[in-house]
């Protein structure tokens, strides 16, 4: 019943379905220029679109910042990657295809079809920096699994480190420090150190980022296992996360991911402050559609929104763990990162062992 109530509240606050019915598809402009005070969620609702689609079409994350004068795409990108299937004629006889839906990732698609990320990238002429979008057709090459062999070669080339030492990256719309670090084979910590930045820093289009050489950094990326003795408020919040997860039929692993995520984001506390407008147990942002400040601070509701699924109080406005295709086969950190889009995805996995201990203690 609480989930239904939350759903009615959301529909009363943001009548997305009503907008979808009243605004014909052809009236939606191809692009929109951001005005002062705009948010992605408000722009999406105005034109009867899902927030997650607008983010995807513009290569943005839940924590990306938009600014006045910025142009946002309001339609799915043209099928520019269509010529890419050219490399796939060889495996054509046994090739499969997959039509991308909201929430899909190359990793999840590879897991679903029993192939590798590199095989899918090669079969579609994509790179690790490519963005996929709903409606795009992805070729699945079953015979491309040997392709990963060439991939390790660049990583093993010693000159890579000196090359990145003096490299700079010009920030474009949608960039995050995590994505930049991934692109240049370095770490977020190395970018912080080289540019005098910190976790609360905001980067902006046109900014030049120094890419420090940190080839060794990824080796130490897996954070050591963390542990903590919970105080009374933390234990109460942990019990709520466990209880609601079981009520929704979430697996023990899914509950552990929720516990670890809350520990990383808020230290398992229902915070009324955070980075920009982030609030609550999971540091969800009202400006990106997670709910009003009051709704985000409602522990019961915010937990249900993190889990998502059919009983998500936010409906399809945001994407919870259960809405991520193939999350069960992702690593612990990858599953949490798919919901949170954090600059520090490796931190979630460090709490995996502790999360299972909390389930045993408070479940």
Render pLDDT for 85-102 as a digit per residue (tens, 0 to 9): 545 444 444 468 888 887
Which distant-in-sequence residues (6+ apart) come within 8 Å of 354 by Cβ? 225, 226, 227, 228, 260, 263
Q: Which pLDDT does position 93 carry in this prediction?
A: 40
For residues 358 and 119, the model is more confident at: 358
Residue with tokens 């201990």: 357
In this model, does residue 117 exceed pLDDT 50?
Answer: yes
pLDDT of residue 183: 85
3-state secondary structure of 156: helix
136-193 residue pLDDT tens: 888 886 533 334 444 444 444 444 443 444 588 888 877 777 778 778 888 777 777 7
φ, ψ at 229 (rounded to 5°): -95, 120
Q: Is the pLDDT of residue 25 over 50?
A: no
> Mean pLDDT throughout 333-358?
89
pLDDT tens sequence across 45-85: 888 888 888 888 888 877 777 888 888 989 887 654 545 55
Mean pLDDT in residue range 330-344: 87
Confidence (pTM): 0.48
User: In the chain, what percentage of residues exceed pLDDT 90?
Assistant: 30
CA gap 162, 156 in Å, rounded: 13
Sign of the torsion angle spanned by Cα atoms 192, 198, 199, 202: negative
**Residue-level pLDDT at 104:** 78
Name the DSSP class of 271. B
Of 339, 342, 326, 333, the C-alpha closest to 111 is: 326
Count the Cβ atoms, other than its own, within 10 Å of residue 64: 16
d(CA 178, CA 182): 6
C-alpha–C-alpha distance, residues 72 and 91, integer Å:
37
Query: pLDDT over 70 for what percent of the chain?
Result: 75
Report yes or no: 72 and 35 within 8 Å, Cβ to Cβ: no
pLDDT for position 138: 87
What are the start-end ranges of the E strands in the chain?
Answer: 31-33, 71-73, 96-99, 137-140, 167-170, 208-211
First to last CA, the chain: 22
CA distance 189 to 217: 9
Could you tell me the two tokens for 246? Answer: 């079981």
> How far from chain centre, in Å, is Cα 325?
12
The DSSP string of 6-45 is: HHHHHHHHS-HHHHHHHS-GGGS-SEEE--TT--HHHHHH
CB 144 within 8 A of CB 119: yes
pLDDT value of residue 85: 52
Cα-atom radius of gyration of the chain, to the nearest Å? 21
Strand 137-140, strand 96-99: pairing: antiparallel
Sign of CA dihedral 108, 111, 117, 120: negative
């Amino acid at each position: 019943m609480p989930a239904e109530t939350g759903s009615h509240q959301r529909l009363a606050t943001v009548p997305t379905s009503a907008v979808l019915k009243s605004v014909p598809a052809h009236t939606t402009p191809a692009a929109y220029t951001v005005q002062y005070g705009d948010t992605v969620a408000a722009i999406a609702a105005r034109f009867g679109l899902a927030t997650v689609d607008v983010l995807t079409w513009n290569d943005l994350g839940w924590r990306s910042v938009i600014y006045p004068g910025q142009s946002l795409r309001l339609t799915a990108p043209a099928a520019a990657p269509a010529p890419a299937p050219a490399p796939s004629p060889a495996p054509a006889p046994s090739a499969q295809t997959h039509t991308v839906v909201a929430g899909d990732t190359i990793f999840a698609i590879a897991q679903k079809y029993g192939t590798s990320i590199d095989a899918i990238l090669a079969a579609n002429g994509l790179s690790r920096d490519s963005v996929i979008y709903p409606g795009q057709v992805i070729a699945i090459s079953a015979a491309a699994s040997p392709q990963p062999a060439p991939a390790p070669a660049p990583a093993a080339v010693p000159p890579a480190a000196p090359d990145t030492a003096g490299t700079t990256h010009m920030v474009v719309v949608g960039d995050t420090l995590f994505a930049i670090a991934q692109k240049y084979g370095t770490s977020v910590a190395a970018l912080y150190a080289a540019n005098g930045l910190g976790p609360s820093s905001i980067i902006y289009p046109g900014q030049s980022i120094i890419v420090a050489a940190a080839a060794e950094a990824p080796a130490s990326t897996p954070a050591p296992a963390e542990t903590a003795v919970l105080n009374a408020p933390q234990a109460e919040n942990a019990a709520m996360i466990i209880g609601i997860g079981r009520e929704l039929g979430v697996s023990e692993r899914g509950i552990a991911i929720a516990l670890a995520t809350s520990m990383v984001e808020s230290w398992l506390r229902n915070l009324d402050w955070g980075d920009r407008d982030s609030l609550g147990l999971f540091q969800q942002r009202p400006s990106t559609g997670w709910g009003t400040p009051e709704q985000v601070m409602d522990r019961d509701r915010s937990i249900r929104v993190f889990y998502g699924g059919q009983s998500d109080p936010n409906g399809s406005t945001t994407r919870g763990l259960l809405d991520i295709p193939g999350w069960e086969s992702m690593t612990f950190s990858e599953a949490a990162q798919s919901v949170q889009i954090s600059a520090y995805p490796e931190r979630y996995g460090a709490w995996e062992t502790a999360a299972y201990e909390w389930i045993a203690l408070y479940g």
